[in-house]
Structure 1
Amino acid sequence: MKDKNTMENENVMANENIMKNKNIRKNKNSLGSVLYKIMSASKWMIFLTVLIITGTIATALFPPLVLERIVNSLTAQQQIPLYLALTYLGLLAISGLLESGQNVMITKFGQRVTHSLRSEMCAKLKRLPSAYFSQNEPGIITSRFVNDVDVVDSLFTNGIISMFADACKVISILVVIFYKSTGLGIIIILITPLLFAMTRLFQKRTLKAQLVNRVAVGKVNNHVPETIRNIRMIRTLFRQKYMEQKYDDYIEESYQAMDKSNLYDSIYSPIVIFISSCVIAVMMICAAMGGEIQQFFGITVGTAVAIIAYVSKVFEPLESIGMEIQNIQSAVAGVKRINEFLQEPEREETDSSIAKDIKKFTINTESNSCICFDHVGFSYDNDNIVLSDLRFTVESGESVTLVGRTGAGKSTIFRLLMGLYCPNEGRILVNGIDAAKIPDDQKRKLFGYVEQSFHMVSGTVAEQISLFDPSIGRNQVEAAARLVGLHESIMELTDGYDTPAEKISFSQGQLQLLSIARAVVAAPKILLLDEITANLDSDTERRILDALDRATQGRTVLSISHRFHEHTQNQRTIQIVNPSRGI
């Protein structure tokens, strides 16, 4: 048998390996690292996209040059060669095809980013501690997966990549304009600071409006499911008008923010069009004047036609850049929220890659204790203490009932025991192992949890029991149903165990039996019962208790009761007192 020092050293080494693996996962949790991984896996798509964008920009430069030669031939009363007309039409067709291809590639790349990002966020979701879900409303979390990821898609499809392509197009056109007319090139350079200052103003105003809209959308997404979930209480207390008014307020807040954003967008486009018209007018007036100014702006008729085409091509992408800036600013709010989500602290857990370290924890064979709360202190918000210096043990095979007033912390004890939360002080051991470090894939074989009410999932009756666990076969599902006395009721359904859950019409007592079957199907060693007969009539309660008598055989049982008299002679009772309430 190992001595005490060897056991302690093994436990310390295992803890260090667990924390090392945890820190590696945490360092990778950022939006930048996720995007880098996506881009590394999409090198060929990025290369092809850049190639098509380059071809689009190049082919867009040639049609005005060909048009210049055609117009000059007409003004010189020369016959236009057929190949020149065909070249002009061909370049326009090729330019249109490449631009369509550019849009397709940008869209496909954005879709890949969106899919990969949502996958990473889903993987992150299961690594978050329970405290995150209690501190953040479901609608807020849903908004990050739906709205915020959608704006990240816009960041690529209608933002960064499109703006890069438009910027390259503007630069290449400016080079040609300088070559054709130095004066016009200087004019465009002079108005660039004006356009830049105006763009920055619109950026700031748009970002502020988008941030307000993001917050309002999150409130709306949370308000709707909250109202539906509590609709019975709302109707009972006649609070429908209040909930409607709150919903209207959130919608109005979102609409006002979107109106501001749309206002800036609607103003920006006319300003750009007006400036482009003024530049063309100045160029034509200066070119028609005599002396040195005419030489500075002097151009042929064909060149004038080409330059007018180029000027419109300059301001067209500039106008698009203004819209793309709005998309980028809108995405910035979503990017910040997603990055905050990915950087949320993760719960201490072990996965398959470090499960071997868990095995190094040595079970204390000197005691028969199965569960040990050793000077445990806990608070959800660091202000209101829920548990303080809690000490108790549960022997293997023992049945223990936790009793106490509402809010005393009985359900919190279950959450701590299953590793959903970590204690602020002390430690919780299950067979000598820290409860928070038990691998997730082992927890169902260790704990069976029966709640006050049954939570149905989308699937068949069999899947309500197995919860889609591939290690649980049909024989185990039926054995669990027989154990709780529900097999005959299930077989009376249209498709038996394969009946879709939404088509069953079980009573509350039958649903509670289904919950017990779900808890025991994996043959757990410890059964946790959370006030499961509180809302049942006496006959149904007796049926549930009979099923529990069969389900608890050979297991360690820890149950919760609000009433002091609800325990049998074979059960030990532990009274839980909330130190912050003094009860």
Structure 2
Amino acid sequence: MLAVLGQYLGPLKWFVALLAALLLSATGLSLFLPQLMRRFVDNAKLLDGADPGLLTRLALTYIACAVAVQLLNAGATYVGARVGWTATNRLRADLMAHLLGLDMREHKERTPGEMIERIDGDVTALSNFFSQFAVRVFGATLLLLGSLVMFFREDARVGGAVLVFTLVTLYAMNRVRQLGVEPTRQEREASAKLFGFVEERLTGLEDIRALGAGGHHLNAFLRTQREFFHRSTRSWMRRSIVWQLSMLLFAVGYTGLLAAAIGLYAAGAITLGTAFLLYQYMSMIEEPIDQLTQQLQDLQKAGASLGRVAELLALRSDIHGGTTPLPGGRLALEFRDVTFDYEPDPERPDARPVLGGVTFHLPAGQTVGLLGRTGSGKTTLTRLISRLYDPTSGSVRLGGVDVRDVPLSELRTRVAVVTQDVQLFQASVRDNLSFFDPSVTDEQVEAALLEVGLGRWLDRLPDGVRTPLPAGSLSAGEAQLLAFARVMLRDPDVIILDEPSSRLDPATEALLTSAMTRLLSGRTAIIIAHRLDTVARADRILVLGAGEVLEDGARDDLARDPRSEYAALLRAGANVEDGVLA
């Protein structure tokens, strides 16, 4: 906790200094107020000899100091909130950047809903704690120490007794504080599961409705929510032990102090004003300990959240960029004896990998059509080019350079991927195409849309490229063309198209084919396809089967060779069409 505080509060040291000054001033005035009250009570007790002018001055001074304390505390609260939220917003941004940089394996193991809960729910718990920590804990500690010093100034015996009481109370509460840490961690875990469950069901809402499975999923939701409720209740009950113990101990403490004050007053050792002063200072002992008690409960939440955040920050990506730049111009692509498996099983070394010994060469500026049955390894092969994963063995080279030696930012700038499922954001058209890059101009976005044939669509938008683009408002063809426009803006050297026409009608496919021709012109490209028409303009054909290269060659040569895999696929496609027409 202290390390995190130091890392994220360090850059805000001047605000922290201002906060300390405000708290010190407020504490000093708070300790001075009982002194004024004692003088007022002792002078007011003198019914015949009381000085009205003195009483008035004391009352006005008391009011002015009390107002000043409130203003100083308000200022400290504002500065503390600003410091706390600024620090944790930096933590949230760092955590988001860290998650975006993790390997795809980590994202496969956790649902997006769980990630959202980690970034928002856990960090918000830390934000609430950090924004109040300095004001409440530091301020309460100052007030507690100051009150103990004032007790000793008035009477060493009373001061010693109150010191012992304070130490016992703090020790007891610190002992029971740990009881709530593990239940709170389990509560946060249950919350993350609940968020992940909701996210997955909302994503698959269309299938759930179409299959009439709403009732089953609702029952599963209730079970997940029940677990969250039980863990939350158990966590709250464990945390509540702290303040319940505090109430019990202070009941004993007040009883003892009042008994001592009455005894000293009856013996003539203290005045009535001093007895009242001792009671006020006892309340100043109670207030900071109550604050510390509340913060101990928040500390339990923050400790559990911080532990979960630390788990994510401790994750390290196995994929790191190198320092060798790619050569300029178009890039040749080469696979050299590449083997890959998502989760190699050391107990089954003979198990077939996803890719096994893949070797091929694609000259710069040429397009290869990648064919094969579902599960043959086509998509996996393309993921190795942009380094979403690294080969288990072998190497992938661009322009003669191993992609593992290239800086990741440069690699993913020079290589563009268009997937089947185009991700669109609830943002403007320009933000969807530029990925929120403010350096991209509206004119560049418009030119990219015109290049892919979306000019008429653009003309219908009321605010042009600044028009908001609600999710789900586009057809599959329009979404695919927008993805092409994204690539146009980047002007990469290598393009990977994953089933670009798998969900399109013939008219839209013709428009997409025209845009694809312009997009691929002069660039090195891979087109993954099940439909042979999609690769009709490819220079080369690569056929995969069970993770191995079954065939690699020029498309025209393979089409003319009746023994080739590609020629067999063409014949099979022609037979299917004849059957349908018949």
Alignment TM class, shorter chain as reference: 0.7 to 0.9
1:304 aligns with 2:304: no
Deviations 1:85-133 (A, max 9, x none): 3333333222222222222221121122122222333443443333332
Q: CA deviation at 1:145?
A: 2.0
User: Which residue does the alignment assign to 1:524?
Assistant: 492
Tell me which residue corresponds to 2:311.
340
1:408 paired to 2:398: no
1:110-121 maps to which residues of 2 (within 5 A)?
Answer: 110-121=84-95
Alpha-carbon distance in structure 2 between the residues aligned to 1:503 and 1:340: 33
Question: In 2, Cα distance between the equivalents of 1:536 and 1:454?
Answer: 13
- Using the TM superposition, give the Cα deviation of residue 395 of structure 1 relative to its aligned residue in structure 2, in angstroms: 1.6
Residues 1:49 and 2:19 are matched in the alignment: yes
Distance (Å, rounded) in 2 between the aligned partners of 1:389 and 1:33: 48
Residue equivalent to 2:525: 557
1:7-39 Cα shifts (integer Å, max 9, x gaps): xxxxxxxxxxxxxxxxxxxxxxxx977754543
Question: Does 2:336 match 1:374?
Answer: yes
Q: CA deviation at 1:374?
A: 1.4
Segment drifting more, 229-238 vs 531-540: 531-540
Contact 2:184 2:304 in 1 (8 A): yes
Given candidates 46, 65, 87, the residue that maps to 2:35 is 65
Contact kept? 2:448, 2:486, Cα under 8 Å? yes
Report the Cα offset of residue 541 of structure 1.
3.2
Matched, 1:148 2:118: no
CA distances 1:188-217 after superposition (whole Å, capped 9, x unpaired): 344345423531343122212321221122
Pair 1:487–1:439, CA change in 2 (3 A):
farther
SS at match of 1:406: coil
Relative to structure 1, the CA distance from residue 469 to residue 168 in structure 2 (aligned partners, 3 Å threshold; closer, same or farther) is closer
In structure 2, do the counterparts of structure 1 residues 547 and 266 end up closer, same or farther at CA, with 3 Å as the change threshold?
closer
Residue in 1 aligned with 2:192? 218
Call closer, same or farther: CA 1:519–1:90 in 2, change over 3 Å: closer
Alignment of 1:15-164 (within 5 A): 35-77=5-47, 78-80=49-51, 81-82=54-55, 83-159=57-133, 161-164=135-138
Answer yes or no: is 1:166 the counterpart of 2:128: no
CA 1:557–1:128: 2 relative to 1, 3 Å: same
Relative CO higher for 1 or 2, CA cutoff 8 Å, sep ≥ 6?
Answer: 1
Contact 2:8 2:88 in 1 (8 A): no
Tell me the residue number matched to 1:494. Answer: 462
Residue 280 in structure 1 maps to residue 257 in structure 2: no
Q: Any conservation in 2 of the 1:55–1:98 contact (CA below 8 Å)?
A: yes
Change (3 A) 1:166 1:396: same
Is the 2:173–2:245 Cα contact (8 Å) retained in structure 1?
Answer: no
Could you say if the C-alpha distance between residues 190 and 222 of structure 1 is closer, same or farther in structure 2, counting changes exceeding 3 Å?
Answer: same
Letter in structure 2 aligned against 1:390: V
Correspondence 1:340-489 to 2 at 5 A: 340-346=311-317, 348=319, 357-359=323-325, 370-383=332-345, 385-439=353-407, 442-443=410-411, 446-469=414-437, 473=441, 476-489=444-457
TM-score, normalised to structure 1, is: 0.82
Q: How does 1:529-540 map to 2 (within 5 A)?
A: 529-540=497-508
Tell me, what secondary structure is at the counterpart of 1:408? coil
Following superposition, the deviation at residue 528 of structure 1 comes to 1.2
Q: Partner of 1:358: helix, strand, or coil?
A: coil
1:304 Cα deviation from its structure 2 partner:
1.2
In the alignment, is the contact (CA less than 8 A) between 2:333 and 2:361 conserved in 1?
yes
Q: Does the 8 Å CA contact 1:148/1:335 hold for their aligned counterparts? A: yes
Amino acid at match of 1:376: V
Describe the superposition over 1:130-159 as per-residue Cα deviations: whole angstroms up to 9, x where unpaired: 333223221122122212221222232333
Whichever residue aligns with residue 17 of structure 2, its letter is: F
Query: Does the 8 Å CA contact 1:420/1:436 hold for their aligned counterparts?
Result: no
Q: Quote the Cα distance in structure 1 between the aligned partners of 2:13 and 2:512.
A: 60
Q: Structure 1 residues 491, 73: CA separation in 2 closer, same or farther (over 3 Å shift)? A: closer
Check the 8 A contact 2:366/2:522 in 1, yes or no.
no
Tell me: CA distance 1:267–1:35, structure 2 relative to 1, closer, same or farther (3 Å). Answer: closer
1:328 to 295, 299, 303: 299
Which of 184, 199, 221 is equivalent to 1:247? Answer: 221
In structure 2, what is the Cα distance between the partners aligned to 1:467 and 1:339? Answer: 29
Q: Is the 8 A contact 1:276 1:315 kept in 2?
A: yes
User: CA 1:237–1:458 in structure 2 vs 1: closer, same or farther (change >3 Å)?
Assistant: closer
* TM-score normalised according to structure 2 size: 0.82
* AA of the residue aligned to 2:85: Q
In structure 2, relative to structure 1, the CA distance for the partners of 1:556 and 1:170 (3 Å cut) is: same
Task: List per-residue Cα deviations over 1:245-273 (Å, max 9, x = no partner).
Answer: 33323333333333334435555445434
Question: Which AA in structure 1 matches 2:287?
Answer: E
Letter in 2 for 1:231: L
Residues 223 and 124 (structure 1), Cα distance of their counterparts in 2 relative to 1, 3 Å cut:
same
Task: Answer whether contact 1:149 1:334 (CA < 8 A) is retained.
Answer: yes
Contact 1:276 1:312 in 2 (8 A): no
One-letter code aligned to 2:339:
G
AA matched with 1:320? Q
* Residue 232 of structure 1, CA deviation: 1.1
Query: Does the C-alpha gap of structure 1 residues 499 and 191 become closer, same or farther in structure 2, counting only changes over 3 Å?
Result: closer
Deviation for aligned residue 1:335:
1.6
Question: What fraction of aligned residue pairs are identical, expressed as a percent?
Answer: 26
**Distance in 1 (alpha carbons) for counterparts of 2:88 and 2:133:** 14
Q: Tell me, in whole angstroms, the C-alpha distance in 2 between the residues paired with 1:186 and 1:445.
A: 70
Give the conservation status (yes or no) of the 8 Å contact 1:453–1:532.
no
Aligned counterpart for 1:314 among listed residues 263, 267, 285: 285
- Match of 1:400, SS? strand
Contact 2:425–2:471 (CA under 8 A) maintained in structure 1:
no
Deviates more, 1:91-100 or 1:457-466: 457-466
Q: Map residues 287-298 of structure 1 onto 2, 5 A cutoff.
A: 298=269
Q: Distance in 1 between the 2:262 and 2:516 partners?
A: 99
Cα deviation per residue 1:363-419 (whole Å; 9 max; x = unaligned)? 9x9xx9811111222232333832232222212233222222323321121111012
Matched, 1:259 2:233: yes
Number of corresponding residues: 539
Q: How far is 1:546 from its partner?
A: 3.8
Partner of 1:7: none
Following superposition, the deviation at residue 439 of structure 1 comes to 4.2
Residue pair 1:472, 1:522 contacting (<8 A) in 2 also:
no
Contiguous gaps of at least 5 residues in structure 1: 1-30
Give the Cα separation in 1 of the matches to 2:300 and 2:462: 54
SS in 1 for 2:541: strand
SS at match of 1:457: coil
1:16 corresponds to: none
Q: Label 1:73 to 1:438 Cα distance change in 2 as closer, same or farther (>3 A).
A: same
8 A contact 2:179–2:239 mirrored in 1: no
- Which letter maps to 1:239? A
The separation in 2 between residues aligned to 1:477 and 1:287, in whole angstroms, is: 80
Q: 2:2 and 2:45 mapped to 1: Cα distance?
A: 57
2:574 corresponding residue in structure 1 = none
Q: 1:441-475 deviations in whole A, cap 9, x for unaligned?
A: 54466333222133223444344444445665555
